[in-house]
Amino acid sequence: MTVDDTESGVHRRFDLLQGEWVLVSPHRDRRPWQGQVEVPEPLLSTHDPDCHLCPGNRRANGARNPDYAGVFVFDNDFPALLDGAPEVSAAAGMFRSEPVRGRCRVLCYSPRHDQSLARLGESGLSAVVAAWQRETIDLGARWRWVQCFENRGASMGCSSPHPHGQIWTMDALPTLVRREREQQRQYLDEWGRGLLLDVVAAEAEAGTRVVIDDRDWLVVVPYWARWPFETLILPRRPMPGLAWMGDAEAASLAGVLGDLFRAYDNLFRCAFPYSFGWHGLPGARQSDVAGWQLHGHCYPPLLRSAGIRKFMVGFEMLAEAQRDITPETAAARLRAARGPHWQTTTDTR
């Protein structure tokens, strides 16, 4: 099979970060659909008196939010990980277990209930980037792993439409992160170079999967993408984590993120759902630095329209990941969707 054949022929692609194969079936995008149709989320007001995250409102645990004017960070009222709880005993043998501790934080991006990363503007996005850096550095001084992430939209399990993300910490290295560390270390041992730095060079040269080509950052639909419009956010220079990012790179990242998330919203003229997060070293753990490169993953589920999503079920759960449209097609569509947010322009794209 030639490179050109992969635009139309069924084939598999190898995921360098996870060490797994992905089945690509471009012709399936034309199949009829009578399955679940997503309901577009309603327009939001600037403040919702019933929202647990709006300034001045009372949260579910009874605490009252301050009248914050920028970003607001607090400990999650219902954390998935606990620090200081009674420790569970480890179990060996066939059925293994081990204790785990952690801390969960909530990061509100804006006091406005109707905002999002796509609509914050560069100053608002810069404040979010600074909060990611600050929280990562502070929490990374104690915890082995710090995970900054956001679930946007009810279809991605988000319990509140207020613009916010989360920061979870663990005293262990999570499964997917451990796999990425192994793949990056193996590549470094074999080739003497960083895996994701080589990916940046190869993707920039090819161009077909590039969505945003910035001085400091490259955004691509990765060659091995599982989700239809999945993207990978990559720094152009060696950068193990958010703590290693300079002021100029943080400023350019704010612009890149706004550009990317506007393109998502513009693609189907909706509040595009996704799970997005950073994989970066939390602190100065030198034993983990070798080969590791900061990167952001964005996994949006929509496939054909605002109402039709991709489901990871059946073959995907029992065999291996499968996608319909090729990453090259997805990147071209995202490039075409870049520009002002569809809700603030008369552009009919």
Instruction: Given the residues 162, 164, 279, 297, select the one marked as catalytic.
Output: 164
**String of DSSP letters for 232-291:** EEEESS---SGGG--HHHHHHHHHHHHHHHHHHHHHHTS---EEEEEE---S--HHHHTT
For residue 339, how many C-alpha atoms fall within 13 Å in the half-sphere facing its CB? 15
Strand-strand pairing, 217-220 and 20-24: unpaired
Place of tokens 């870049």: 338
Q: Compute CA 233 distance to the chain's CA centroid, rounded to the nearest angstrom.
A: 9
Q: Does the active-site annotation cover 52?
A: no
**Contacts for 103 with CB less than 8 Å, ≥ 6 apart:** 75, 79, 81, 83, 139, 143, 168, 169
Q: Give the largest CA-CA distance in the chain.
A: 64
CB < 8 Å & 24+ apart, contacts of 195-204: 195/16, 195/17, 195/291, 195/293, 196/17, 196/234, 196/293, 196/295, 197/238, 197/293, 199/16, 199/232, 199/234, 200/234, 200/235, 200/236
Place of tokens 């139309």: 8
How many secondary structure helices (H) and strands (E) does the chain include? 7, 14
| Active site (catalytic) residues | 164
